[in-house]
């Protein structure tokens, strides 16, 4: 196929030899299957901010670092330079998260480079050698649902211990290769240590998993694995082998109404996005 304009710089630099086909187009990027020498990889081309449907909410940007105060001021003012810096921070968040998570043993695609708004990384493939399906497209029975749910909780714990919360985890950004789930799409990754909404983001990610897998394994519905994982994390006792029950003791502290309202708003955005992606999936 014809090489997309945004990928041309990588071809000119010798990083990509051939664009083979478009793999998918989503809310934040278009992904292509590319050939790099003898290796088949994928190139994620980030969409411009005015073309993305994903909201870069303040909650996702909190705690992210910029190079200097000039860049921070420009981003706050929304100048042309500031918008460019915001785009770089948005894209680098995924690259940084992928490198950190891969080093921590989390099952994510191996990243190679992010150049001119294009992220080059491993192509996740299924047992047949073709591009791996999304979790949403995999038929589940009770046993497989419990198996994948347990594996993903372990990945979530590995991520959290590496200081990262996905922030948008659902059946739409999990691929299934021959060994099980692989987590993708991390530009909205949350820094667990510096974000004031880290706990609610983690709980929402885990709740999304329980809701999805609960269709095939109803006992997961209403579980509180997210709260349990966060409590162990705060206590400094969380490990990938922590025995989880999905239950936590009833809280005795006064409710923070503002935090609850923030969580409701985030949940509303998530539901709107989930419905849209479901409609796109059905239309495709």
pLDDT tens, the chain, 284 aa long:
899 999 999 999 999 999 999 999 887 899 999 999 999 999 999 987 654 444 444 444 555 454 555 554 544 555 665 555 566 667 778 889 999 999 999 999 999 998 888 999 999 999 888 999 999 999 999 999 999 999 999 999 999 999 999 999 999 999 999 999 999 999 889 999 989 899 999 999 999 999 999 999 999 999 999 999 999 999 999 999 999 999 987 666 566 777 777 777 777 777 777 777 777 777 76
Q: How far apart are CA 189 and CA 226, in angstroms?
A: 16
Domain chopping of the chain, boundaries: 5-283
- What confidence score (pLDDT) does residue 1 get? 87
* Per-residue tokens: 145: 């649902």
Query: What topology is assigned to 5-283 in CATH?
Result: Transferase(Phosphotransferase); domain 1 (1.10.510)
* Per-residue tokens: 179: 């060994």
- Whether 106 contacts 98, CB under 8 Å: no
Q: Which residues pair with 177 in a beta bridge?
A: 180
Q: Is 224 helix (H, G, I), strand (E, B) or coil?
A: coil
Question: What's 136's DSSP letter?
Answer: G
- What confidence score (pLDDT) does residue 277 get? 77
């Amino acid at each position: 196929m014809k090489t997309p304009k945004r990928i041309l710089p990588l071809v000119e630099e010798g990083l990509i030899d051939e664009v083979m086909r478009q793999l998918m187009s989503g809310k934040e990027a278009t992904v292509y299957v590319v050939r790099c020498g003898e290796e088949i990889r994928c190139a994620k081309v980030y969409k411009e901010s005015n073309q993305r449907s994903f909201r870069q909410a303040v909650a996702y940007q909190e705690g992210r670092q910029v190079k200097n105060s000039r860049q921070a001021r420009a981003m706050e003012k929304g100048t042309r330079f500031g918008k460019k810096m915001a785009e770089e921070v948005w894209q680098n968040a995924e690259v940084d998260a992928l490198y950190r998570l891969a080093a921590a043993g989390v099952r994510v695609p191996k990243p190679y480079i992010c150049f001119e708004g294009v992220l080059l990384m491993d192509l996740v493939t299924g047992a047949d050698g073709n591009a791996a399906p999304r979790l949403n497209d995999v038929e589940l029975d009770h046993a497989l649902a419990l198996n994948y749910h347990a594996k993903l909780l372990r990945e979530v714990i590995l991520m959290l211990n590496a200081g990262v919360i996905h922030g948008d985890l659902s059946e739409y950004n999990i691929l299934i290769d021959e060994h099980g789930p692989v987590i993708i799409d991390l530009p909205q990754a949350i820094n667990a240590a510096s974000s004031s909404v880290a706990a609610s983001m983690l709980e929402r990610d885990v709740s999304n998993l329980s809701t999805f897998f609960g269709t095939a394994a109803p006992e997961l519905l209403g579980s509180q694995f997210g709260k349990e994982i966060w409590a162990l994390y705060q206590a400094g006792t969380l490990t990938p082998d922590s025995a989880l029950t999905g239950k936590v003791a009833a809280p005795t502290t006064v409710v923070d109404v503002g935090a609850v309202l923030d969580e409701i708003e985030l949940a509303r955005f998530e539901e709107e996005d989930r419905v849209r992606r479901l409609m796109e999936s059905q239309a495709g």
